[in-house]
Amino acid sequence: MRKIAFTLVLTAALSACGGGNDSEADGPATNVATESPATAVAMAGKDIYKKCVACHTIDKGGRNSVGPNMHGVVGRAVATVEGFSYSAAMKAKGGVWDDAALDAYIENPRKAVTGTKMAFAGISDAEQRKALIEYLKEQK
Ligand code: HEC
């Protein structure tokens, strides 16, 4: 009886070993899979946010500069950062910065909010805007 049990254990160990070798072959892919897709997208968004840092701080309580602080902007009512002097157009826009409103504004600021004083040409790539918005969502 004992001998049979040992043989079974050995067989199991050998096949586990074979499996190990297989997964080693696609090592780099395993590393990528450990990061959730949402995190990877937000990381790409952080890079895209470099286009915004000249005018927008992102840290909590960060000072307003050329533009208002961006911390917690997703879900925030439009034109409500204290101490920032918004254009009349932005003050009149109303609503909340949800995904759709941000997407439209980042794509083409002057088209989405005619008369805005944000001097930014916009980002035409939809994937880049999506990644950027995912990043903004994490800053709260
Ligand atoms: C050249 C400076 C500049 C750059 C670059 C810039 N912005 Fe702005 N942004 C502004 C200004 C100025 C305003 C205020 C607009 C107004 O009052 O009409 C603003 C307003 C905003 C608002 C509205 C905020 C609120 O409190 O209602 C959002 C959202 C925004 N910017 C996002 C971005 C993003 C995202 C980027 C990068 C892709 C970016 N901006 C790049 C200057 C800039």
The reply to whether ligand 1 has any atom less than 6 angstroms from the CB of 101 is no
pLDDT tens track for 82-119: 999 999 999 999 999 999 999 999 999 999 999 999 99
The reply to whether ligand 1 has any atom less than 6 angstroms from the CB of 109 is no
pLDDT of residue 2: 52
Confidence class for position 34, pLDDT limits 50, 70, 90: low
The reply to whether ligand 1 has any atom less than 6 angstroms from the CB of 117 is yes
The reply to whether ligand 1 has any atom less than 6 angstroms from the CB of 120 is yes
* Rounded-to-integer distance, Cα 65 and Cα 140, Å: 19
Q: How far is CA 86 from the centre of its chain?
A: 26
In the reported structure, the alpha carbon of residue 88 is separated from the centroid of ligand 1 by a whole-number distance in angstroms of 14
The reply to whether ligand 1 has any atom less than 6 angstroms from the CB of 129 is no
Burial label for 16, CB within 10 Å (0-12, 13-18, 19+), is: exposed
Closest C-alpha to ligand 1, atom 32 = 106
pLDDT of residue 40: 84
pLDDT tens track for 128-137: 999 999 999 9
Residue 74 near residue 97 (C-beta atoms within 8 A): yes
